[in-house]
Structures are given as C-alpha cells and as structure tokens.
Chain A
Amino acid sequence: MIPGFRRPPAGVHPPLDSPAYRATSLRHPKEPLVIVPQTLSERTGPVYGQDTVGPGDHDLTRQHAGEPVGERIIIEGRVADEDGGAIPHTLIEVWQANAAGRYAHKGDQHSAPLDPNFSGAGRTLTDAEGKFRFVTIKPGAYPWLNHPNAWRPAHVHFSLFGPSFLTRLVTQMYFPGDPLLAFDPIYQSIRDERARNRLVAAFELDVTEPGIALGYRFDLVLRGRNSTPMVD
C-alpha cells in the first residue's frame, strides 16, 4: 500500500477567498470543501521522465538566435518532501516575464517591449538528489489592474509534479529585498509569515557564475507522506 500524504499545516496555502486579491471574489467556492480520503487515485500521479525534457530546456537564454536583454541569473535549488527527503527525477516547469516586465503571451497588453530573444518558458528534471538548475534573466516588475498603481513584484512561476496528483504545486519565486513584496496581495495572501518567506529566493555568491550571471537559491518542499499507510 502506498502511504498517503499529510494535510498541509494551517496558514501555508493562501485562502481561496482573499479579498485584497480582487480576482478571488468571484472565483472562490462558497461551499465548504468536502474532506475526502486519499484513495489510490490521489496517492499516485503522472510520471514525466528524461524523454520529456530537451538538453537546453533549462536555459531560457539560449532558445533564440540572440541573447535576451536583461540581467543573467542562475536559479539553483532542491526539491524535498516535508521530511527533507529528496524528490528525484521530477518535472519542474517555469515561466516568466522578460526583463521589461512583459510576457510573450497574447493576453499581456502591458506597453513594455517584447524581447524577440526571450520566450520565458523552461523546464528540467530534478537529479537523483532532488537538485535543479535554471539559467534565465531576471524578470521585470509589471503593473496590473488589481488596485490603483498596483505592481507585481518580479517573479518566476514554478510548476512541480512530485510523486502524486496531491503533491502538484504551482507557485511563484520572488527576489530578496524587493520593495513591492510589501504591497503585493498575491504574495501577502499567505497568512504565515515564515511560509511567505519561503517564496523569496536567496542571493548566493556560491551559485553566481563569476563574470557571467548572478546566482539565487530556491528550495521547494512538497507534501510529505503519512507515517502509517492509509487504508482504502
């Protein structure tokens, strides 16, 4: 029997109804969530292996003829479960705005320029120790319509699978010292301050590549297993 997964501690995941983030007002369920057991369906999930990922997919600066504009950065990290155990060979997808704060997406109408050398999408698999590395450029902040003079802090979107459909995680990585974090209702929707801080990468000289790119560390933790197997 495959063990089930621990319930997330209170305050970690943002509440679905977060009034300061206006778009939640009509998009959060009003009925209570139905608490259900974890059957085989919940305890398993899709497997994406080496055949999924191309050799250059982790380097967002080399997907076009020329180099993108912006400050080159390296993002390194490790994916673990809540007990610290490595999550090896799991798919991580990233997407982000360019250095000017514009997404290469038809829905993004921000007046900042597109960069013909930057699509802003990458992916990789964690290695046997759960470690990963992306090369990209630092995304720009951009305005949005949530409230007057609203700006999203610079961020990189992360999508992870882990060992089960229940470990699926979609989140955002922020940059240390960004003054916009204090005003961002999406970042601030996380009630637990310690949990919120986990989304802020650390600048690390050790990750920096001298003369080439600045380095950041961003570790991620997915749901851990229950210690005792669940019974169907």
Chain B
Amino acid sequence: MTADGRTGGRADGLTPFQTVGPYFAVLPLEGENSASAASTIVIEGTVRDGAGAIVPDALIETWQADATGRCDAADASFRGFARAMTDESGRYEVRTEMPGSIGKGHAPHILVGVLARGVLTRLLTRIYFPGNAANATDPVLALVPESRRATLLASATAPDRYRFDIILQGPGETAFFDA
C-alpha cells in the first residue's frame, strides 16, 4: 500500500501482456539471431496479415532442443533461443542447429513466438521439418486439425535452408497454440 492508499505497483496476480509495439529496440543480446555458436541451418520466412500484406514490424523468437534433444543443457555454445525482427519486406531469418527429438514419438520441432504491433498477447506456434517420419507420431502435431498441419511444416529450399512463412490471419492461417 502506498502513501495515497492505492495498491498500484503491487502485484496481486499474473501480469498482463501488452503489445511489443512498433518501436522494439533493446540492447542486443550477443549473436541473438543464432540459437547456437555452431549454427548449420537457416530458417527464413515472411510474416503476412489478414489482407496478405507483409508485416514489417514483427519480432520472431525461437526456442528448441539441441541436436541430442536436450532443452536444458545451459551450454554457452548452444543457447537454444534466437530472435529477429522482420525487415521492410516482412522477412525474418534465424540460424540454428537441427533440433533432436525430445522423447519417443516426438518429432524435431522449434517453438516460435510471434510479437508485433497489433498483437496484444504473444502468438505461439511450432516449426516442423519436412520428410521426418516422426511427424506422423508427434503428440502435439496430432492435435492440430489435419487440414492445418501443413502450416507448421517448413519447406526445404536448399540443403541447409528452410522456409517457414507465418500468416497471422485468413487463408493459410498458421495454426497457433494455447499452451
């Protein structure tokens, strides 16, 4: 309680989300667009809105297991986290290593958070990789309606390059999660 009897500033429950806004500019983390000191693959894509327009002010964040499927290795050479803003053409790019499986039946995947002006609460989704047999048994992918699963599948554009477009709304809308 403060001098004027208000309880402001004192938390009495979960702190709400607010939009990241159009002017995100923090002190950069070292090598923040790469999840690993030894990244071998590139993931790139374009973010679009419900009118098909590019989103040039999105902050894309990724989190994933290392190549052995560990998520808690706390290894300075493998951070597991990367982030990048989309550019004026709506394109983002992060570098990483191919994740391993976190357990039996789980397909390799990367968690993705999408923050942007006009996005009040972070959107959460996953990237899966094409041609992986475990995609058929993955317990999270199985919960996504079959007609929408393709939205979570990256496409290989070169041996070490994957494309993962994010559509916030409308035809081809990316499947987003409530976890």
CA A35 to CA B175, docked complex, whole Å: 11
Are the CB atoms of B26 and A123 closer together than 8 Å? yes
Are the CB atoms of B174 and A29 closer together than 8 Å? yes
**Interface flags, B12-24, vs A, CB<8A=1, else 0:** 1111111111111
**A29-B123, A39-B106, A41-B111 known; A14+B16 contact, CB < 8 A:** yes
Among B3, B4, B12, B16, the most chain A Cβ lie within 10 Å of the Cβ of B16
A77 beta carbon closer than 8 Å to chain B? yes
CA A218 to CA B55, docked complex, whole Å: 32
A196 beta carbon closer than 8 Å to chain B? yes
Task: Name A's interface SS.
Answer: loop
B61 beta carbon closer than 8 Å to chain A? yes
Task: Select B139's contact among A33, A37, A77, beta carbons within 8 Å.
Answer: A37
* Distance (whole angstroms) from the CB of B14 to the closest CB of chain A: 5
* Distance (whole angstroms) from the CB of A42 to the closest CB of chain B: 5
Are the CB atoms of A223 and B14 closer together than 8 Å? yes
Are the CB atoms of A201 and B8 closer together than 8 Å? yes
A46 beta carbon closer than 8 Å to chain B? yes
Are the CB atoms of B72 and A44 closer together than 8 Å? yes
Report the number of A-B residue pairs with Cβ-Cβ less than 8 Å. 249
Are the CB atoms of A199 and B65 closer together than 8 Å? no
Among B17, B64, B119, B143, the most chain A Cβ lie within 10 Å of the Cβ of B17
Task: Select B14's contact among A37, A195, A218, beta carbons within 8 Å.
Answer: A195
A38 beta carbon closer than 8 Å to chain B? yes
Question: Which of the segments B45-53, B89-97, B129-137, B156-164 contacts the partner chain?
Answer: B45-53
Residue tally, chain B, CB below 8 Å to A: 75
Are the CB atoms of B14 and A12 closer together than 8 Å? yes
Residues on B with C-beta less than 8 A from A169 are 15, 17
A209 beta carbon closer than 8 Å to chain B? no
Interface residues of B in 59-97 (CB under 8 A from A): 61, 63-65, 71-72, 74, 76, 79-81
Are the CB atoms of B144 and A107 closer together than 8 Å? no
* Distance (whole angstroms) from the CB of A86 to the closest CB of chain B: 12
Are the CB atoms of A30 and B170 closer together than 8 Å? yes
Are the CB atoms of B9 and A202 closer together than 8 Å? yes
Are the CB atoms of B122 and A201 closer together than 8 Å? no
CA A229 to CA B169, docked complex, whole Å: 34
Interface residues of A in 140-162 (CB under 8 A from B): 157, 159
A50 beta carbon closer than 8 Å to chain B? no
A190 nearest in chain B by CB position: B16
CA A232 to CA B102, docked complex, whole Å: 10
Q: A37-B139, A103-B25, A223-B14 are in contact. List 5 more A-B contacts (CB 8 A).
A: A33-B177, A43-B71, A105-B25, A107-B23, A176-B9
Q: Which 6 A-B pairs have the closest CB atoms?
A: A202-B9, A23-B118, A46-B81, A27-B118, A44-B71, A26-B50
